[in-house]
Amino acid sequence: MVRGRGRDGRGAGGGLTRGSAREEPERRCLVTGEVRPKAGLVRFVLAPDGTVTPDVAERLPGRGLWVSAARDIVETAVARRLFARAARAPATAPPDLADRVERLLAERCRELLGLARRSGQAVAGFEKVREALRSGRVGLLVEASDGAEHGRQKLTALGAGVKQTRVLRADELGLAFGRDHVVHAAVAPGRFAERLEIDAGRLAGFRRGSSGVQGTDTNGG
């Protein structure tokens, strides 16, 4: 397997920038008006009663209302009642909408990790992650946002060029692996790593002080 395999040219919130090697469908943010790959936005729909509902899995029926994956932009949409304007229909956006999006994205990331673990595509623990990195079997390195810097730096140095995310806490990673807490995890290259890369990038836009998906080479790309 090839180390560091993943999407290049990723922009803020986990989306791909224009001109990247792999193009994605694009959507327009109803707040900024910017057109960008939908990996960097969150889809919302109106429930039958007009309530604005996050659709992080992009499966709910109805017209999609897209907003950049960033807490302040979602809060602006709520404050300025932009969902109703975009939908051209009565719409009620709960004041804690950004918090709801964060919670749903965190749950989705945990679910993806759990599925990857049960499929034999994810491992946890310093030694197992280190072995996976040495064998070139890592598509995404997942580090707890509240984990010790020393251990993270060791794995980062070992996995130069491997994508890395630090958006979930150790207790959240633990839930995905059936433990009290997990600090280091790794996902094999493939669809789980690719999906988690997108959703972790989105989640980072709602968690202050967290980092989305980054390269771990010496240039920090």
Please write the tens of the pLDDT for every residue from 125-181: 999 999 999 999 999 999 999 998 888 899 988 888 899 999 999 999 999 999 999
Q: How confident is the model at residue 211 (pLDDT cuts 50, 70, 90)?
A: low
Q: Residue 63: how many CB atoms within 10 A of its CB?
A: 12
What pLDDT sits at residue 6? Answer: 35
Name the residue among 11, 28, 29 with its Cα closest to residue 19: 11
- 102 close to 167: Cβ distance less than 8 angstroms: no
Tell me the per-residue pLDDT of 25-34, one tens digit each, with 9 for 90 and over.
999 999 999 9
pTM of this prediction? Answer: 0.83
**43 has pLDDT over 90:** yes
According to the model, what pLDDT value does residue 214 have?
65
3-class secondary structure, 38: helix
> Is the per-residue pLDDT at 220 higher than 50?
no
In this structure, the strands spanning 164-166 and 140-143 are parallel
Q: Give the class (CATH, top level) of 14-100.
A: alpha beta
- In which band, very low, low, confident or very high, does the pLDDT at 213 lie, cut at 50, 70 and 90? low
Q: How many CB atoms lie within 10 A of CB 103?
A: 15
- The domain spans of the chain are 14-100, 102-214
Question: 2-16, pLDDT tens digit by residue?
Answer: 233 333 333 333 333
3-state secondary structure of 125: coil
Q: What pLDDT was estimated at residue 114?
A: 97
**Could you give the count of Cα atoms lying within 13 Å of 95 in the half-sphere of its Cβ?**
0
Residues of the chain with pLDDT > 90, as a percent, come to: 77
CATH number of 102-214: 3.30.1330.30
CA distance 211 to 38: 19
> Is 22 a residue whose pLDDT tops 70?
no
